[in-house]
Amino acid sequence: MTTVSLTDVAAYLPGEPVPAEFYTRYPGAEDKLRDHPMFRVPPSRHHVARDETNADLVERAVQPLIERHGRAAIRGVDVLLVHSQLPDLPFVGAGTEVARRLGLNPEWLVDVANAGCASFVYMLKMARQILTSSDARSALICNAQSAAGQWFTQSEVRRLAQAAVPGDGCGVGYVTTSARSPVLDVETRHIGEYAGDMTLAVDDGRKYWEPGRSQLRIGFTGAGVARVLARGNRLVPEVITDLCRRLGVPSTDIDVLITNQPNRTFLRNWREALRLPPERHLDTFDEYGNLFGAAIPVTLDRAIGSGQVRDGDLTVLGGFAHAGDFAGAVAVRWHGGRD
């Protein structure tokens, strides 16, 4: 059977760090969720510029891959998968524009709209399946997150507890049919019963595309947040434990765990459930906030660059999406030393 590897990752963070005071110095009307653990404010995050697009983020994130593997190798990828956490245009994903910018001509090009904060895991599973069942030999998987500096900085939304948590950035992965850093197994779950629990809210009740004065926000309620917290606490350890069981190892044998980065509460609860010390569950929440789908590849890139992921490490990437409608985890035996 063809071996598929997560050969390399790279990342891009836009602009200068934005301090918490950007939000906290503008308190708004009473927000009952302001003191909830889900919305504890990270010290820092990055914001896209006003005209910075998802394709811009991907183009900049891919540059280190081009430098390390050569422009010809990246231009020759057979598969391009892109997840954009705030599409720049209705109807149009970022994939074809990314292909144009990078000079790609992929046989497979998919803009992935689901799997949210765990979409890097899902796209890695898709890439692995395509590479093992076709003539394709390489893939580029891209997570671009641009909602923080565009959506959550709106004048009224900015005053809400939800606004100060997200950050912007982009992470990309280079996947090949090689044994360099083999993907050992993947566990994913689509959970339809939770699919309608993430909602948008506007004060005037309009559809999001209709004109109006109210500003679009995520429809968080106290009861809804409690349900998401309970689901997230359960789902991520479950998929990681099931993945480890198939691999024949206990979760305590994980050398490096990288999850999505929603808040400190989830991060603590997940590592405690999996019985891992903090130094083996790496995070970037305090520096970058909640990067949604980009969090896993961005955090992995930083961990590799800082030497926190070593040759031979059993590296597990996992997370859940939205209000719990997707959860997934992937195990990689890391041998991705950078030339």
pLDDT (tens digit, 9 = 90+) per residue, 163-222? 999 999 999 999 999 999 999 999 999 999 999 888 999 999 999 899 998 999 998 877
* Listed residue (89, 127, 88, 93) closest to 107, CA to CA: 127
Q: Give the β-pairing of 314-321 and 138-145.
A: unpaired
Mean pLDDT across 9-27: 92
Kindly indicate the confidence band of residue 30, based on its pLDDT and cuts at 50, 70 and 90: low
Whole-angstrom Cα distance, residue 161 to residue 33?
A: 6
Q: Domains for the chain: give ranges and CATH numbers.
A: 5-179 (3.40.47.10), 184-333 (3.40.47.10)
What is the per-residue pLDDT for 195?
Answer: 92
Cα separation, 75 vs 63, in Å, equals 12
Confidence band for 32, pLDDT divided at 50, 70 and 90: confident
The more confidently predicted of residues 45 and 208 is: 45
- pLDDT higher than 70, residue 29: no
Percent of the chain with pLDDT over 70: 97
**What does the pLDDT average to over 41-51?**
97
pLDDT score of 275 more than 60: yes
When pLDDT is cut at 50, 70 and 90, the band that residue 35 belongs to is confident
* Predicted local confidence at residue 337, as pLDDT: 67
| pLDDT band (50, 70, 90) for residue 339 | low
In angstroms, what CA-CA distances link 122 with 44, 118, 206? Answer: 28, 7, 33
What integer best gives the mean pLDDT of the chain?
94
What are the φ and ψ backbone dihedral angles of 58, each rounded to 5 degrees? Answer: -65, -45
Rounded Cα gap, residues 46 and 60, in angstroms: 15
Q: Looking at residue 324, what DSSP letter applies?
A: T
Confidence of residue 302 (pLDDT cuts 50, 70, 90): very high
Q: At 278, phi and psi to the nearest 5?
A: -55, -35
Say how far residue 255 (Cα) sits from the centre of its chain: 20
Task: Check if the beta carbon of residue 257 is closer than 8 Å to that of residue 279.
Answer: no
Query: Predicted confidence band at 27 (pLDDT cuts at 50, 70, 90)?
Result: low
pLDDT on residue 323: 93
pLDDT given for residue 227 in this prediction: 92
Distance CA 22, CA 167 (A): 12
pLDDT digits (tens, 9 = 90+) for 82-111: 999 999 998 999 999 999 999 999 999 999
| Model confidence band, residue 36 (pLDDT cutoffs 50, 70, 90) | confident
pLDDT at site 338: 66
Q: Are 319 and 325 in contact (CB under 8 A)?
A: no
Taking phi first (over 0 means left), then psi (-120 to 50 degrees means alpha), and beta for anything else, what does residue 15 get? left
3-state secondary structure 151-210: CCCCCCHHHCHHHHCECCEEEEEEEECCCCCEEEEEEEEECHHHCCCCCEECCCCCCCCC
For the chain, how many helices (H) and strands (E)?
Answer: 9, 14
Quick count: other Cβ atoms within 10 Å of Cβ 256?
A: 22
Which of the four pLDDT bands, split at 50, 70 and 90, describes residue 76?
A: very high
- Its pTM stands at 0.96
